[in-house]
């Protein structure tokens, strides 16, 4: 992908929370014609995700999400196959209703509420189906990279919100709330880190971790540069979960993390992707799973590694999903195999869900690591092999 200086002028981008386009531009003046769907989250029956209607007519649809009492439910996604079409996260009980608007063609969708007793709710759209991508394969892939860029931008937007909340907890000296909100701020970076890990702050050499934005945001205990020291998420993790206290230094870490995440948010709209960038990025995220999540290295103090694991897998799956329409024309068999292996991994991950844990996944205890390392690693390896063949296919497509 094309790397850009943080000082580069930021390009304009349309927010997914306002509109997401499927098969054509939305006319903002047509707001009165937008269908409305209300989604309510409660703690009834072990966590419930309730829609006020299960079907709408094709066209613009606004999904309004209210979390009334569901402490274990923090996220709602609209799915079309493997692709996340729209989502809202950080949905704590009692917060104001939030919404996202998308234009939907006729077909079958799902509302996904991770952690709910019935976490997927069927949702149908009647009327004309959204047009499938047309034109040359390279044109279809280009449309996919544009859609993926929007996904990255929205993910980083959400990270700013989550890190801001964590910083507020820390500034208030509220240790328990900070420990609850720390894991809720983590998955965003895990979804997109392969796209943003090459940025260097102005005035620094690429080999100097003082200016390496990825290091400053996501360095781990195992890869500390002694000349640069502690920074970012895991410095905060250490203070909250090992030391068990919030100090002035913790507050400084949180302020710096928010500053750097906002820098990332500023620069992400300038990113330009090639199809092979998406494929290589997805492969890199699976390498992250093998190297730092399955080993328990990532969250050494809090043990939220399974949550990070799921974040890496989601990011990889979204990168592939935006390539999938083109890949179905290039090599339908390979595309189908990759899709099936992603589904196997996601099904495996569902077995580690625990609604009582912030973020919704079991803590990665020493016992769990000892029992399941081989199983987890083999599942990722089975996905890595076919996925590794995607980059060459899309890079040479006509």
pLDDT score at 133: 66
SS3 state at 89: strand
Of the ranges 15-19, 320-324, 370-374, which one carries the lowest mean pLDDT score?
15-19
Q: How far apart are CA 255 and CA 5, in angstroms?
A: 22
Q: Is the pLDDT of residue 12 over 50?
A: no
Average per-residue pLDDT for the chain: 87
User: Would the CA dihedral through 167, 20, 33, 88 be positive or negative?
Assistant: negative
Q: How far apart are CA 117 and CA 164, in angstroms?
A: 30
Q: Do domains 28-130 and 138-395 have the same CATH topology?
A: no
Average pLDDT in the 371-396 region? 95
Q: Is the pLDDT of residue 390 over 90?
A: yes
Confidence band of 167 (pLDDT split at 50, 70, 90): very high
pLDDT score at 132: 64
pLDDT score at 91: 83
Average pLDDT in the 202-220 region? 87
Q: Is the pLDDT of residue 9 over 70?
A: no
- What is the DSSP code (8-state) at residue 97? P
| Nearest CA-CA partner of 251 in 311, 161, 334, 173 | 173
Percent of the chain with pLDDT over 90: 66
The architecture (CATH level 2) of 138-395 comes to: Up-down Bundle (1.20)
pLDDT score at 335: 96
Neighbours of 207 (CB within 10 A): 8
Q: 28-130: CATH homologous superfamily? A: Cupredoxins -  blue copper proteins (2.60.40.420)
Average pLDDT in the 225-251 region? 96
User: Domain extents for the chain?
Assistant: 28-130, 138-395
Q: Dump pLDDT digits (tens) for 87-122.
A: 887 788 888 898 888 888 999 999 999 888 888 999
pLDDT score at 270: 87
386 vs 60, higher pLDDT: 386
């Amino acid at each position: 992908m094309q790397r850009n200086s943080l000082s580069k002028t930021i390009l304009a981008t349309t927010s997914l929370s306002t509109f997401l386009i499927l098969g054509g531009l939305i006319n903002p003046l047509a707001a009165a014609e937008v269908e409305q769907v209300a989604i309510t989250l409660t703690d009834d029956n072990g966590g419930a995700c309730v829609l006020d209607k299960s079907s709408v007519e094709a066209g613009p649809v606004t999904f309004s999400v209210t979390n009334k009492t569901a402490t274990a439910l923090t996220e709602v996604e609209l799915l079309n196959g493997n692709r996340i079409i729209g989502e809202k996260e950080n949905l704590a009980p009692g917060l104001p209703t939030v919404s996202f608007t998308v234009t939907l063609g006729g077909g079958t969708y799902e509302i996904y509420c991770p952690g709910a007793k019935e976490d997927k709710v069927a949702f149908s759209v009647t009327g004309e189906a959204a047009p499938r991508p047309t034109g040359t394969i390279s044109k279809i892939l280009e449309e996919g990279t544009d859609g993926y860029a929007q996904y990255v931008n929205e993910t980083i937007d959400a990270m700013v919100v989550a890190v801001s909340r964590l910083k507020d907890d820390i500034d208030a000296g509220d240790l328990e709330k900070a420990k609850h909100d720390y894991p809720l701020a983590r998955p965003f970076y895990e979804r997109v880190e392969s796209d943003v890990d090459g940025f260097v702050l102005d005035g620094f050499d690429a080999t100097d971790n003082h200016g390496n934005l990825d290091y400053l945001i996501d360095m781990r205990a195992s890869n500390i540069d002694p000349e640069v020291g502690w920074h970012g998420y895991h410095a905060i993790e250490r203070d909250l979960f090992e030391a068990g206290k919030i100090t002035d230094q913790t507050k400084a870490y949180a302020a710096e993390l928010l500053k750097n995440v906002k820098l990332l948010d500023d620069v992400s709209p300038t990113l330009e992707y090639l199809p092979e960038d998406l494929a290589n990025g997805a492969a890199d995220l699976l390498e992250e799973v093998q190297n730092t999540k399955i080993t328990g290295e990532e969250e050494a103090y809090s043990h939220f590694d399974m949550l990070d694991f799921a974040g890496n897998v989601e990011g990889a799956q979204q990168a592939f999903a935006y390539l999938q329409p083109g890949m179905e024309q290039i090599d339908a068999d390979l595309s189908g195999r990759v899709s099936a292996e992603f589904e196997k991994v996601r099904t495996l991950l569902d077995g580690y869900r625990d609604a009582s844990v912030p973020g919704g996944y079991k803590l990665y205890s020493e016992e769990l690591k000892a029992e399941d390392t081989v199983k987890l690693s083999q599942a990722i390896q089975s996905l890595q092999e076919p996925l590794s063949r995607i980059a060459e296919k899309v890079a040479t497509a006509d």
